Structure 1
Amino acid sequence: MPATTFKTGIGLKKYHLRNLYSKQNNQVLAGISQIIDGCTESAVERFYNELTSFEKSKKFLSEQMVQDRLKNELKSWIEDVLSPKSETDIPTLIDKQYLIGEVHARIDIPMDLVDSAMFLIKHTVFLSILDSQLDKEMKNRAIILVDAILSASLAIIDQSYLKDLVENERIAQEYKGHVSAQEIALEIEGIKSQTYKWLSNLMAVLASNKEYKFRSINKDDVVLWIIHKLPQYVNKPSFLEPINDTVNQIEQIHIEISQNTENRSEAILLLQKKISELNFLLTEIANANLHESNQLDALSSLTERRFLDPIMQKETQIALQMQSRYSVIMADIDNFKLINDQFGHQVGDDVIKHVSKILKTNIRVSDYIFRYGGEEFLILLPETDLKTSIHIAEKLRQKLEQSIIETHQADKSLTVTCSLGVAEFANHPDYMQVIKRADEKLYQSKNNGKNQVSY
């Protein structure tokens, strides 16, 4: 007697879904195809009405996104899983369920909300089947089959989602320790210096009796850094609340100073005090991170690609919540293979280090830069629109083109160029969409002659 094979976890779910598309079940699906076509739109409408009624869904869904894209995607999914499948169709169908789970994990959509709203899809389809002209036996078979297929598909999505969610959380926690204490301390010292510079500029303008044009501190690089990068460094969320409160107090005092042209001295003293409090809190964070170890990319000293997912996920959530923009620049060193072949890999390493330094020193402290591949880099620009990002990309291209690379070989100095692609976040909760568009624009630059910016 052959040994019994036990299937567990996602393997069992795949096995179950595969068996649901038998010859007899495919006949049932073919028999209800018109019913499915007729009720899908109503089912999708009920699903998203339910999903968007939850407060916590607002961080990853917008009304425009639902109307423009997600309704059509869900409609296609229902029609796909509830249509007959041949044996050769099933692997592709299963892969699609995996992919949906991965996307849900990247978006960080709570699966309990999806599971809850899925009941309404089933309910709508069941009612349509019951109201049809099918005989009683066919109705029963159809309802049981639809329930089984939707449940099995959702089970694979849930399993894939949980697997990716756990991995994303592990990487996010690891990222909190990826920057050394020295790196954090230097960055914080730079931010503290900028706060005093901002205060000095404000006082100089006020002392000159010139008309003061108010510009919110929330647009300053200091606050952008606090919003977008500081949470990635902090192991204790309790550190963030007093910092955010202090920034809000600084902004309120700043507004008062801009509106009150007389008796500003007391408000300025209070502003100085709050700036000092903010810098004290930032120093505490630097001290608290002294035990952290350094896990930057060894060659480029840039953030490793493996930390990209939690950071992109967080920035996408911030952009959706604040209705703001971010942009992505993809950059690739031109003719890098030729450099390696002609001068050797040590010179190639010198080129990577040089390009990394040029890119890193010409972006804001609130921006992120990753070594994305061998000679490819990804730059994430929070709260930056496409027009500004194109300007930044062009500046980086020119800086690199004009620089001289000193190599380990005493008689060898080089110049290199870079091709760049730029894309702006377009309100899609899956951040891979904007990365893909930036990558496509990068290859457009490559194909059009290199050493240029495409957008």
Structure 2
Amino acid sequence: MNESLEIKLVKDIFLNGFDYICGIILKNPYQKKYFQNAEVEKLKKIQMDAVLAGVEGDINEVKRKGFILGKTHFYFSIPFSATLTNLQKIEHVLSEFLAKSFKEKNLDPGFTLKKIREIYTVLRNSVAYGYLYSSLHIDKVVIREKLRTVKYSEEELKFYVKEHLVWLNKIIEDIKKLRKDSSVELDVEKCKISRLLEDEDVLDISKKKYNILKDVHEKIHKTAIDIYYSIEEKNFVNLLIDYINLQKLSAQFLSLLAVKIAVRSVEDANIDPLTGVLNRRPMEFILNNQYQISKISNRPVSIALLDVDDFKLINDNYGHLVGDCVLKQIALLLINNLRKSDLIFRFGGEEFLIFMPFTEKKDAFKVMEKIRKKIEEFDIHCGKYTINLTVSVGVEGATLRPNETVNDIIEKADKKLLRAKRTGKNKIVV
């Protein structure tokens, strides 16, 4: 078949089939959620331009457009797994369209189908590289911030946290520059961190957590070895998957150490003496630490601000001792109805901040709604008085966007709390 005729036929089929399959993908409720804030037409055009360039034989343009497509998907916070699945679906449907159309015209689709497979193989690899490049840029900023935080910590375990972060930062540099020879120690037995794990008494943690920490550390090194193999092969899909896995394992590792550091740092001075929950002194360090871990591992985070309605009236009518008793009871109710991994801070006079790691906003709402109802139905006994009260709550979830900070989430939650107060109290605004 004439080459120009083949190119025209493939382009016609691709343009018609591409819109068809994109329409189907966007009807899926989960996919719709991913793409609801994205410029869908922009994403479609980049992919169309990439494939059409490939049909005309310009593979370098496929790589360039694929790289841009990956960066753009990353910017819109669309998971790589969703993007990879969609690319595979589009390739499959277009290949079926091509095969059917060619056969209807008594043409052999074999060569053209092979070309489409090659184009999408290159495209997927380039998209992965775009994701990877964007992720590396963000993670370097995150690690630099964590290193700054650790630098000013007086905790004895900071040495080990710093060692791992420096090690991780060097791997990021190697990936950015596609170095085949590692700049870090890959042998787990020779790693400086291994000195920490030789003596579990140094950590002062349970045997179970000690074994988990050691296992995660070994997996980190195995994954790092895979990373350099993927660099050598220039397989960016596998490299991205390896890198995401490395970051998740690192998040687990640092989380175990961070929890220990937080526990050691939270002494009497950091506990609110009235309610027994954390006060604001360690809040910035702990929340920033946990939020950065969520960013690295791409896991959701939610924050709730809870305020006792009309608390001033309780103090005015019953006295400050009763007011203190009420706050103690509210704090105890929160402790008993939240997970051990949730962090509770006394944020203000009668205001509490709840940090919920690995929790979507909709799930945080469900938890806080149960708590709100329990408080509404709860009889608080303080001496001779039985008091019934309500609370208002503002709930906000992290977007995990590059420039977002934990203070941004708190500020949004605070605005929603104010809205709950102004629109009748005894409610949750999300």
**TM-score relative to the length of structure 2:** 0.43
Higher RCO (C-alpha under 8 Å, 6+ residues apart) = 1
**TM-score relative to the length of structure 1:** 0.41
